[in-house]
Amino acid sequence: MSLALAAAAAGCGAAPPAPGPPPAAARQPSRAALMVCGGDVEREVTGALGTALITPLTGSWVDPRYTCPYVFPGATLALVVDQTADRPAAEALFERRRAEAAGATAVDGLGEAAFARADGSVVVRKDSMLLLVDVAGLPAGFGTPVRSRANIALTVATAVMTCWREHA
């Protein structure tokens, strides 16, 4: 386990409770989705990358997707959470996304299922949600120390899954 991966798995402090879709009538992002845009996840991401954000995090909700761009000097990492009605819907969406991703490779040990895309981005299924760690906006090598996009995506996905698991 890399030092950054160990740091990401170290914990999430007192973040809000995690996974689960919002009530159907609420049509708002779940607490778990909101976790990707601040608090402990933000500290884990910026700490693991050794790079400060240049703008404050601001998430956006377009039902059923919550998006949080992490804007660094010359680079952007996006965390995207898709909320579905239930686990079967999440499973179907996950399979559809995997089929659409040319060159997708399975990733063991993250969430209930995960795969990496050819650009290094990672998609993870957990409960009724999908997490996308989109590293397409990062250069091939990024951070201090410099790391690959694939390594960054795995580290960030691990940090989010740890938070969601700790607050489930």
Give the pLDDT confidence of 66-77 residue by residue, as tens digits: 999 999 999 999
Residue 28 corresponds to which tokens in the numbers above? 């708002």
Q: Rounded to an integer, what distance in angstroms lies between the CA atom of residue 166 and that of residue 108?
A: 19
Per-residue confidence at 20, pLDDT binned at 50, 70, 90?
Answer: very low
- Closest Cα partner for 88 from 21, 17, 134, 25? 21
pTM: 0.86
φ, ψ (nearest 5 deg) of residue 98 = -65, -40
Domain coverage including residue 96: 3-166
Between 27 and 65, the more confident residue is 65
Q: Total domain count for the chain?
A: 1
Per-residue pLDDT at 55 exceeds 70: yes
Per-residue confidence at 165, pLDDT binned at 50, 70, 90?
Answer: confident
Residue with tokens 């590293």: 135
Per-residue pLDDT at 120 exceeds 80: yes
Which CATH number do you get for residue 149? 3.40.1000
Q: Return the C-alpha torsion angle 11, 16, 19, 23, nearest 10.
A: 180
> What pLDDT is attached to residue 27?
77
Q: Rounded to an integer, what distance in angstroms lies between the CA atom of residue 67 and that of residue 4?
A: 23
